[in-house]
Structure 1
Amino acid sequence: MADAALRLTALAEELLGEPVPVRIRAWDGSESGPPGAPVLVVRNRRALRRLLWKPGELGLARAWVAGELDIEGDLYEALDRMAGLLWERGADAKDTVHPIRDPKVRSAARGLLQLAGPWPPPPPPAEEVRRRTGPLHTRRRDKEAISHHYDVGNDFYELVLGPSMVYSCAYWEDGGSLEDAQRDKLDLVCRKLALKEGDRLLDVGCGWGSMAMHAAREYGAQVTGVTLSTEQAAFARKRIAEEGLTDRIEIRVQDYRDVRDGPYDAISSIGMAEHVGSVRYREYADSLYALLRPGGRLLNHQIARRPEKDESAYHVDEFIDAYVFPDGELAPVGRTVATLEEAGFEARDVESIREHYALTLRRWVANLEKHWDRAVTMTSPGRARVWRLYMAASALSFEHNKIGVNQILVVRPMDGGASRMPLRAREWKASAAD
C-alpha cells in the first residue's frame, strides 16, 4: 500500500471537485498535499470504511472519536480549511460522496473501496448515543440526554471549565481571565434581573451551582436551582455547604416542568433552553410564565442558529446529536422571542454576545489540551476527543457568525400592563460597584 496518501488525495479531489486544502498523511507513512498546511492524519484504513458506510459528517466524527483520524498543526486552521468541503455543504454533503450517484463518484468510490480494505465497517465508538425512538423531550428522554452530557465526571468538567464551574458563555473585557469573565457574566444576569435582598430566584438548569451561589452571596437572593444531572446537584450542594449558603440555596434534581412552588420574583435560564426543543418550547415558556409573579423578570441566555430560507429543510447536526447534546436543538433568536411573547411575556432587551462565546470556547479548549492526559484518564480517549472537536468547531462557528448567543430579558406584565422596568432600561450596564 505504498503512496496511500497520494492515492487518497487524488480520489478525494475527484470526489470533491477541488483541491484538498490540508496535507494528508496515511497509515503507511506517506504524505501528500500542500506543504506547510495542517496535516490530516489517517491512522487506519478503518476511517475510510466508516466514511463509505456513513458518508458525510457522522462518518468523519466516528473516525475522529475512534482515533483513526487526527490533526497535526493548528486545529482551528485545519477545521477552517475543511469547513467549506465538509460541514458547510449542508444536507447535500451526504449525496456528494454517495457511491450510487454519477459515474465520477462511482469511480472514486471504487478506488476508496480498494484503499479501505475488508468490510464490514467497524461499530460506532462507545461514546455515541444509541438511536432513540419515541416522542422527543419526554421527561425520561430528557433526563437520559442530560445524563449523557453532564454525568461524565465533575473532575473532568473542572479541568475544562476552571474554578468558576460555569458552562456557558462568559462576558469578557480585554485582558481578563476566564474566571473574571464568568463572574462578570453572572453579575450581569443578576443586574438584568434587578435582584435584591430576599428575592426568590429560580435558576433553571442550575449546573454546578455557580449562578445560585453568586445571586445568594452577592445579592441576598433566596435561590432554588433545578437540574436533571445528579452529579451536578451533588457537586453544587457540596460547594454551597462549604460557602455556608445552605440557608439561602436549595438544589433539586427536578424537571422544570415539575416545579410547583411559585411565584418567583425572577428566573434565570442560562444555557438550558437549547435542550428544550421546538416541540416543547411553548410549554417551556408557559411554565416559566406561570412561575413568575406579575412584574417578575426572566433572563433567557440561549444559543441561536441562523434562519434557513426553507425552515422545513433544517437538519440537526449529526455529530452534535450523536456525541454531544442528544436531542439538542437550536432556534433562530426571532422565533425564541416570538414564542416567549406568545406565552404572555413582554420582551424588553436582547443582547448578542456572540464573540464572547468564541473567546470562552477557545479558553476551554486550551484547558483541555493543557490537561489532556488527565482528561483522558478521567473519561475516555474518545470522550476527550469529542470535546476537543466540538468546542473548537463551535468556536469557529461563533467567530464566523454561523451561530450566535443572546441574552433575552422578558418581563411578566402586571395588571394594566405595567412592567416595573426602569425608563432607562439598560441601567445594568453600569457595574454593581458604580
Structure 2
Amino acid sequence: MTSDSRIGPIALPETRARRVIEQLLEGSGVALNGQAPQDLRVHHPDFFSRVLRQGTLGLGEAYMDGWWDCDRIDEMACRLLRHGLGERAHTPSERLRYRLQSGLFNLQSKARAHIVGEAHYDLGNDLFERMLDPTMCYSCGYWKEARTLHEAQRAKLELACRKLELEPGLRVLDIGCGWGSFAEHAARHHGVEVTGITISREQAELARERCRDLAVTIELKDYRDLSGRYDRIVSIGMFEHVGHRNYPTYFRTVSEHLMPEGLFLLHTIGSNRSEISADPWVNRYIFPNGVLPSAMHVARASEPHLLLEDWQNFGPDYDPTLMAWLTNFDARWHEVAPRYNERTRRMFRYYLSVCAGAFRARDLQLWQLVFSRQRQGRYDAPR
C-alpha cells in the first residue's frame, strides 16, 4: 500500500497527459504505439507532458532526443494537419512570445540577416550536396512532366527563365542566389549576365566555383545594399526570410533596381493565413527568424511599386521535392556522418518529413509570381 501511494502521485499526471494526447489523436488516423507507418512509437514516459507543455517545439525536440519514432513522419504530419491539429499544437505562450518579439523588433533587420545563413545555409556544403540534386536547387521543383528530382529542378529553372523572357545579353539580378543554381542555368542556357547575391559565405563560395566559366558574379550582400539597374530580377526561395516589417522595403528595392520594361519573378512558400507567426521548432532549428507571407501580405506590399502580371501555385510539387531530398539524405548520410551527430540526422529527417506532410495537407503553398514596372502590351506566362 505504501509503495503504491508513492507511485500514484508521480504516475498520475503522466497518465492524464497521455489521455489528453490520445483524445487529440482520435479520428486522425494516427495512433500511439500502433502498427501503421504513421503511428508514433513512444520510448520515454515524459513524452506526453512535454508535448502538451511545449507544443510543436516539444514534439520536434523529443524526436531529436530519441523519445519517439515513426516510420512515416510525413504521413503522420499530413494526417494531423488534416485533422485540424495544426493550430491547436501551438501553445498560447509561444504565440504571445513571437507576436511580442515581431511587434517590438525587426527580426529580419539588416544587422540580423546573417543569422539564418550561419545557422542553416552555412551548416556544411557537403551535407547539402548529398541531399540536393546536381543543380543544387534548394527550393521546390516543377513536377508537371518530371519523373526525377533532377528533371523537376531543371524544369523549375527553365520555367522561371521562360517567364522572365530571357534573351542573350540581358542583365539579371538573382536575390538570394543560393549555390548558384539559377545563375548557372540562366547564363549557360540563355546567354544572360547574372549578378547573384547571398548572405551565406558557404553558398557564395560554392556558387562562385560552379559558375567560374560563366558571365556570373556572386556577391556576399544583403538586398538592402544593392546598386545598379537590371533588365530582369529573380528571387527563388529567399522571400521567406524577408519578414513582414520589411516587405514594403523589399518591393520598393526591386522596383528601384528594375529597368522600366523589366520583369521580376518571385518564387516563395506561402501561408494560407495572414497572421504573423512561425513554427517554434522550425524557427529555432532550421530557419531562424523566418516567416511565411500570405497572399494578402504580398499583394499589399507590392501594389505601390509593381504590377502583378501572373500568379501560379504549384504547392503540391513541394511534397515530392522534399521526399526526394529525404531519400537522398538517408541514402548518403553515412558519407558525412563523421562530421555531424545523430541529433543533426534526426533534425533533418524531421524537418524534411514534417514539411512534406504540410504541403501534402495543403497547409502550405508554393507561389511563382511575375511582376512588371510599366510593361506595354500583354504578358502571357508559360506553364
Smaller-chain TM-score bracket: 0.7 to 0.9
Aligned mate of 1:76, from 74, 77, 98:
74
Evaluate the alpha carbon distance shift between residue 255 and residue 92 of structure 1 in structure 2; reply closer, same or farther with a 3 A threshold: closer
Equivalent in the alignment of 2:225: 258
Residue 176, structure 1, aligned to residue 147, structure 2:
yes
Evaluate the alpha carbon distance shift between residue 290 and residue 94 of structure 1 in structure 2; reply closer, same or farther with a 3 A threshold: closer
Residue 374, structure 1, aligned to residue 329, structure 2:
no
1:394, distance to aligned residue in structure 2 (A): 1.4
SS in 2 for 1:202: strand
Aligned length: 366
Paired residue type of 1:251: I
Equivalent in the alignment of 2:64: 65
- Matching of residues 131-210 of structure 1 within 5 Å: 135-174=106-145, 176-210=147-181
1:149, distance to aligned residue in structure 2 (A): 1.2
Paired residue type of 1:385: R
SS in 2 for 1:398: helix
Render the CA deviation track for 1:81-137: whole Å, top value 9, x for unaligned. Answer: 444475341545779xxxxxxxxxxxxxxxxxxxxxxxxxxxxxxxxxxx9995422
Render the CA deviation track for 1:304-334: whole Å, top value 9, x for unaligned. Answer: 10125xx4xx432111111111110111123
Aligned mate of 1:327, from 274, 289, 300:
289
TM-score (norm 2): 0.86
Equivalent in the alignment of 1:99: none
Residue 302, structure 1, aligned to residue 268, structure 2:
yes
Q: How far apart in 2 are the matches of 1:315 and 1:331?
A: 10
Equivalent in the alignment of 1:122: none
**Runs of 5+ in structure 2 lacking a partner?**
95-100
Equivalent in the alignment of 2:97: none
1:38, distance to aligned residue in structure 2 (A): 4.1
Aligned identity (percent) is 34
Equivalent in the alignment of 1:351: 312
Render the CA deviation track for 1:371-398: whole Å, top value 9, x for unaligned. Answer: 2333543433222222211221111211
Equivalent in the alignment of 1:55: 54
Equivalent in the alignment of 2:211: 240
Larger Rg, first or second structure (1 or 2): 1
Q: Which has the higher contact order (CA 8 A, sep 6+)?
A: 2
Equivalent in the alignment of 1:388: 349
**Stretch of structure 1 that moved more, 59-68 or 404-413:** 59-68
Evaluate the alpha carbon distance shift between residue 252 and residue 332 of structure 1 in structure 2; reply closer, same or farther with a 3 A threshold: same
Q: How far apart in 1 are the matches of 2:21 and 2:147?
A: 46
Equivalent in the alignment of 1:363: 324
Q: Is the 8 A contact 1:153 1:379 kept in 2?
A: no
Aligned mate of 1:315, from 274, 277, 288:
277
Paired residue type of 1:213: E
SS in 2 for 1:56: helix
TM-score (norm 1): 0.77
CA RMSD of aligned residues (A): 2.9
Equivalent in the alignment of 1:425: 380
**Runs of 5+ in structure 1 lacking a partner?**
25-32, 96-130, 414-418, 430-434
Render the CA deviation track for 1:17-55: whole Å, top value 9, x for unaligned. Answer: 35665454xxxxxxxx54546442333456467446x43
SS in 1 for 2:245: coil
Aligned mate of 2:18, from 12, 16, 39:
12
Q: How far apart in 2 are the matches of 1:402 and 1:19?
A: 18
SS in 2 for 1:179: helix
Evaluate the alpha carbon distance shift between residue 46 and residue 213 of structure 1 in structure 2; reply closer, same or farther with a 3 A threshold: same
1:200, distance to aligned residue in structure 2 (A): 0.5
Q: Is the 8 A contact 1:205 1:226 kept in 2?
A: yes
Equivalent in the alignment of 2:254: 288
